[in-house]
Amino acid sequence: MNELLQKISVCFDDIKFIEDNDPQYISLKNLYFTIQNKDFYLSLIITNALVCYQLSSQWEEYWEEFHLYFAHKNIKNKTEIIPEIITFLKQSKGNKRILNMKIKRLEKVELFLEKFFWNEDFYYSNMLSLQKDLAKSMKQKINDKTIVFAIKMFWYWARNQFNNFHYFPFEICIPIDSRLTKLYQIYNTNSNMKIEEFYSLLSKKLWIPPLHLDAILWGMKI
C-alpha cells in the first residue's frame, strides 16, 4: 500500500478536475444542456445507473449512447421514465446482456422513484439516506456495486444542479471493479486484508472519501 500511497499526491481541487473530465460526467453534462425537460434529469440518471452493469461496451461509450438517446426526449411525467428507459435498453448497443433481468429490475426502481422525485435535494445533502433507501427499494446490500455506482452518478450532476458541493461520506464504499481488483492484487502486501478493507484504509490514510478516491484511481495511470 505504501507504494500506491506515494503515487497519489492530490488536493481536492485536483479531484474536482479529474471528476469533471471523466467521460461519464461529460456525457451527463452534455445531456443536461440538451434535454428538453430537466425536471426528470436526475431520475433518468439514477434509473439508468441501476441497470448499468455487465455492459457490452466501455462505460464511457454507454453513457454517451444514453446521452444521445435522451438528449431530445421530452419526458413530461415521471411515469414515462421507466418505459423510456426500457425502450432505450431494447435498442442499446452497449447494454445488451441479461436484458430481461434488467427490465424486471426496473419495477423496483419505479417504486423508489416515487420517493426520490420529490426529495432530490434532500438526498444530495444526505447521501447515506439515499444509500439506505435505494438499497431497501432494490432489496440489495447498501455496499453493492450497483447501489454505490448509482449514488456516484446521481452526485455527478446534483452538485451542479443544486449549486453547492457536498463531499461523499466516508461511509460509502468504493465500487469494486476489475481495475481496482488488479491494483489491490499488485499493491496489497497483507494477505489477510480483504479488498474492501484495503481501499477503506487507503481512503483514510489519504483522507479522501472512497467514492472520490475512485475517480482518482481511474484518472491516474497507475
Using one digit for the tens of pLDDT, what is the confidence trace for 101-137?
Answer: 999 999 999 989 999 999 999 999 999 999 999 999 9
Using one digit for the tens of pLDDT, what is the confidence trace for 155-177?
Answer: 999 998 898 889 999 999 999 98
List the one residue out of 204, 35, 42, 208 whose CA is nearest residue 134.
Answer: 42
Query: Mean pLDDT over all residues of the chain?
Result: 92
Q: What is the DSSP string of the chain?
A: -HHHHHH----HHHHHHHHHT-HHHHHHHHHHHH-S-GGGHHHHHHHHHTT--S-SS-HHHHHHHHHHHHTT----SGGGHHHHHHHHHHH-SS--TTHHHHHHHHHHHHHHHHHHTT-HHHHHH-HHHHHHHHHHHHT--TT-HHHHHHHHHHHHHHHHHTTS--PPPTTSPP---HHHHHHHHHH---TT--HHHHHHHHHHHHT--HHHHHHHHHHS--
**Measured distance CA(142)–CA(92) in Å, rounded:** 28
- Give the model's pLDDT for residue 222: 61
pTM: 0.92
Q: Which three cell numbers stand for residue 200?
A: 477503506
For residues 83-98, give the mean pLDDT.
97
Range in 13-17, 51-55, 210-214 the model is least confident about: 13-17
For residues 81-92, give the mean pLDDT.
97
- Give the model's pLDDT for residue 208: 92
Write down the residue that cell numbers 497507475 correspond to: 222
* Residue 115 backbone dihedrals phi, psi, to 5 degrees: -90, -40
**Measured distance CA(26)–CA(84) in Å, rounded:** 22
For residues 77-95, give the mean pLDDT.
96
Architecture of domain 23-161: Orthogonal Bundle (1.10)
**Measured distance CA(178)–CA(166) in Å, rounded:** 28
**Measured distance CA(87)–CA(97) in Å, rounded:** 15
Burial 46-62 (b: 16+ CB within 10 A, else e): bbbbbbbeebeeebebb
* Residue 103 backbone dihedrals phi, psi, to 5 degrees: -65, -40
User: What are the residue numbers of the active site?
Assistant: 145, 177
Architecture of domain 2-11+172-219: Orthogonal Bundle (1.10)
Using one digit for the tens of pLDDT, what is the confidence trace for 4-46?
Answer: 887 787 767 788 888 999 999 999 999 999 998 899 999 999 9
* Between 6 and 98, residue with greater pLDDT: 98
What are the residue boundaries of the structural domains of the chain, listed by start? 2-11+172-219, 23-161
